[in-house]
Chain A
Amino acid sequence: MTSLKSTLAGSLVFAAMATAALSAEDTIKVGVLHSLSGTMAISETTLKDTMLMLIDQQNAKGGLLGKQLEAVVVDPASDWPLFAEKARELLTVHEVDVIFGNWTSVSRKSVLPVIEELNGLLFYPVQYEGEESSKNVFYTGAAPNQQAIPATDYFLEELGVEKFALLGTDYVYPRTTNNILESYLKGKGIADEDIFVNYTPFGHSDWSKIVADVVALGADGKKVGVISTINGDANIGFYKELAAAGVSADDIPVVAFSVGEEELSGLDTTNLVGHLAAWNYFQSADTDVNAEFVETWKATMGEDRVTNDPMEAHYIGFNMWVNAATEAGSTEVDDVRAAMYGQEFPNLTGGTAVMLPNHHLAKPVLIGEIQEDGQFDIISETDVVPGDAWTDFLPESAVLISDWKELGCGMYNTETKTCVQTLSNY
């Protein structure tokens, strides 16, 4: 027993030391913290490949500050506690200068204490529920006001929806988003009884009753719209049931916040034409820089692969980091962070993204209709929307703002003029 255990422990220690010794001083290390196995591998492997592609491209351009970039890829295996462990390993053993990673909110919450303790730097590329601001995280995905609110406005104004069904998977992103939306809709004069909320488990497949409930909402003569925060595989059963019930997008439109090109590739979309999704990026965006990005992606990964919104978020985040480090002349976290504020970089969809002092991007919001080929037809584009860490539509967070540049505080109460806390609430 002893021999077994100690050999094993010894080999692990050796492995750790070996990798540490390999860290030659002539490269800048970039940590990639995306699950390559487990339930989230489906989404996150794509982002790991995106990062490797971006790093290769940067190295081909001559690297950064005269050094080559080196990707350090670890696999947290969709296991939330493991995210914290791997983040610590990246920062202390591999000594990376920046981490690109995470997808789910819970994995981010798991990593936050570690990143803040060790003063790391994380770029988080996925749309999320807000209500958080960390000094050490840049949120390149959409905050609720950059996805949910514009989509709801679109429902209210363009489609004339008067009654809302908020369907979501039971976890923090849908819960918080729906809370914000409920409060927002009430502010817009939608009555309590005109908002139907339902939560289902991950991977839910039995949708007949819920779809019937939604159809029955139309009984009082108001136009019904569905706002879906349904996550992952469960969407397949939901859309299949929707199609079977003969619900057309003209009668009951569905706008989804978690359905992108990648998710649609598992579906036959002929019956879903006209349903909507809201993102900051669609593969169908008609610009030269996007055409080039899609082409490079397909050349690297294969013809049948699609691009999606979090990929663009990494694209912008990575390039901003490169520019900020160049400007600061160093990859030290504090220097880079100071140089990040006000960084501008062109979006793939046209226009320019700007990094705000609250660590969010200012970007336009796009709304797309599903087409038969599984792509989205962009039918609406808003003006540039600045991301807001603390939503203005919930009373407790309406008074909070985040400003790391001037105030040096991520949770500043504008009423009492005090900083509630400088570490984030994980």
Chain B
Amino acid sequence: MLRLFLAGLAILCACLTANAQEGGLQPILQEHQEIIAKSSRKTIGPAIDAIASSGLPQAQVMLETWAAKNVWMRKSDGLFFAGKKAEGRSYELADFDTGEIIGTFEKSDLKQLKPNSGIRAMIGTALVQFQLTDPDRAKRLAALTSIQRDPEGALLEPLRASIDGEPDADLKAQKQRLERLLTIGYDEDTAARVAAIEEMSDDLGVDVRAALNPLVVTRLQTAVDLPSDVNIAGVVQPGSDDLSGDTAYDLLVASDLAAPRVSADDIRAALAANINGGRVGGVPVAQLNSDAARAQAYAVLAEAGTVPALITQTDIDAALGAHVFFETYAEPSGEVTAAAEKALDQIELKVGLNQTLDLTLDAISLASIYFLAAIGLAITFGVMGVINMAHGEFIMMGAYTGYVVQQFIPDHTLSIIVAIPMAFAVTFAMGVAMERLVIRWLYSRPLETLLATFGISIALQQLAKNIFGTQARPLTAPGWLDGAWVLNDVVSISYIRIAIFVLAMIFLGLFLYIMKRTRLGLEMRAVTQNPRMAGSMGINPGRVNMLTFGLGSGIAGIAGVAIGLFAKVTSDLGSDYIVQSFMTVVVGGVGNIWGALAGAGMIGFLQKGIEWMNPSNTLAAQTYMIIFIIIFIQFRPRGIIALKGRAAGD
């Protein structure tokens, strides 16, 4: 409907003003009053057509107002107006034709038109003709977006006409690109289409593939002989990998070229319908509880002609042999389909490469999240050998700190800048307190450290629930972290993930610096290797342990802010990461930051790899990953990067 109208529009555009309606827009709206009020995409077409083709200057404004959900109907007389919110529950209405304000009305006397996004898209398409040459850049952009969303053949001419007059270089490039895409699908000249296809064959855009793929859609058909008047993609043999014998026979049945098979249900129904004096075909009903007896009874019935005969494999083979199966293109032009196939092959290869790249980015991103979650643990567990089951709760506390800071500092950028050191301070203090009060008494009893810290973990989790509730809390990223870094339509990664990656790298650097270049690091390593010897060298092992544990906890707090930004802030946030974190450290190798990095990398890549192989079930990916890790540890019990010599201990 719309397409028809737009095709005519090109011819009519010269005499647009002559076509203008007497009496303005309201009569047109009233003519379609019912369907406009009903507001369904299926029926709204004529109304939008009529408004757009009215030739009235106010039509554009009216359509824009409508799409913005600002058109109201007065219930008393069914007239439509532009509405603006006034005092309380009342609205100020303005006439479309005169622009005059006709008064303020109560909401209860009005009905708001709420075009759904399907209708809004149609309105957008109708607006294209007005907006393509609009002086406002934003509106021209809106027009292009509309074309992109719903490419229509009729839009090709107006689009072409608007290219030359386009002042903005960006928009001009976009217009040219869209023109190429529309040419592929809708130009009448085959040569022009093939040329456009070839031109676009190195473009990765989803829209290019969206333009090309419909051209190569095929349909499986069957006939006695191969027809010559259609664009045939190829002949398929039944019984091959592409087409199983059963499917092929089903197709024959569906095309009325063969008799349908008799299923087990059919047999049962046929038998039940032919019970005669407690017997079917001579077999007593009570004996019909096996397939063999049923087949026997059915055969008797079939012989008597009461039921259709069973279809045997021989019948199926004969029917398949008598027919030819082939796939046809919907697109009649062979040249176009050939060019499209070739272009798609070319694109697919590039898409494949880019998908691998995208998957790699995803894997790196996941690895950096695991690394960030595990880096604090790499210090407390890896360096000190303390099992801290409450590590996840430190991550959670960091995230909640971020949330609380955001309640006081509404500016998101500033709040994050404040939240990071705050989270560090809170979890550092918590870590130091925990080390002093609990952990230091248990250095010689690692298994009990595990249980005691688990006790702390459940207490902290429940405390968080009591304070903040079980509802997830929002921790909103600053505006400049919204969106994604888009390389092309296949490869993109959100800024927040890049930020997490950067943060993880900063911590890696920081960790290395502290461990290798500062006095604290030296003391830490000394205390870890031999606390007594370190003590006799004038180092206070208690103090160093306390600071080390605090540092590890503090980093967990910062990781919490980052994780809260990209996922959710709930009281069980920590427990989601604790097992993964431990596995990261164990797989990587205890006591070595590079080990944690390698562990995180391996787990990240592994998980994404399994997800890629089985895209419909993410849960399975996690299961198989854990099983893999269990097996991996069998072969490298000390992790990827194992400490050698005396430092390995044990």
Contacts and interface: CB of A to CB of B under 8 A. Distances in A.
Task: State which size class the interface on A falls in.
Answer: 35 or more
A199 B619 contact: yes
Contacts of A244: 482-484, 494-496
Given A42-B470, A244-B494, A250-B149, A205 B576 contact: yes
Contacts of B472: 233, 236, 266
Nearest to A169: B619
B497 A208 contact: yes
A244 B120 CA distance: 23
Interface stretch (A59-67, A79-87, A140-148, A217-225): A217-225
A246 B469 contact: no
Contacts of A267: 474
B117 interface: yes
A245 B476 contact: no
Contact of B493 (A208, A243, A271): A208
Nearest to A160: B118
Contact of B494 (A197, A221, A245): A245
B568 A233 contact: yes
Interface in B571-625: 572, 576, 608, 611-612, 615-619, 622
B310 to A, nearest CB: 22
Main secondary structure of the interface of A (DSSP, over half): mixed
A262 B470 CA distance: 12
Interface string A221-252: 11000000000010011001101111001110
Nearest to B615: A213
A198 interface: yes
A154 to B, nearest CB: 8
A210 interface: yes
A369 B495 CA distance: 27
Contacts of A210: 618
B41 interface: yes
A274 to B, nearest CB: 6
Contacts of B121: 250
B362 interface: yes
B42 interface: yes
A258 interface: no
Interface stretch (B206-214, B385-393, B536-544): B206-214
Nearest to B490: A216
Interface in B550-570: 566-568, 570
B492 interface: yes
A253 B209 CA distance: 20
Interface residues of B, number: 60
B395 to A, nearest CB: 12
B116 A212 contact: no
Contact of A198 (B41, B211, B618): B618
A41 B622 contact: no
A245 B114 contact: no
Contacts of A41: 465, 470
A288 B45 CA distance: 34
A266 B69 CA distance: 27
Contact of A157 (B42, B489, B490, B572): B42
Interface in A133-171: 154, 157-160, 170
A203 B572 contact: yes
B575 to A, nearest CB: 9
| A212, A243, A274, most chain B CB atoms within 10 A | A212
B567 A236 contact: yes
A200 B619 contact: yes
A268 interface: yes
Contacts of A5: none
Given A236-B568, A266-B471, A219 B209 contact: yes
A204 interface: yes
A221 to B, nearest CB: 4
Contacts of B359: 209
B41 A160 contact: yes
B366 interface: yes
A240 B465 CA distance: 23
B333 interface: no
Given A199-B618, A206-B366, A215-B206, A241 B490 contact: no
Contacts of B119: 158
Interface of A: 39, 41-42, 45, 154, 157-160, 170, 196-201, 203-206, 208-210, 212-213, 215-216, 218-222, 233, 236-237, 240-241, 243-246, 249-251, 253, 262, 265-268, 271, 274, 369, 377-380
Interface of B: 40-42, 69, 114, 116-121, 149, 206, 209-211, 213-214, 217, 358-359, 362, 365-366, 369, 465, 469-474, 476, 482-484, 486, 489-490, 492-497, 566-568, 570, 572, 576, 608, 611-612, 615-619, 622
21 contacts: A42-B471, A159-B41, A159-B116, A201-B619, A203-B576, A208-B365, A208-B493, A208-B497, A210-B618, A215-B206, A220-B213, A233-B570, A244-B496, A245-B492, A246-B483, A250-B120, A266-B474, A266-B568, A267-B474, A369-B117, A379-B116
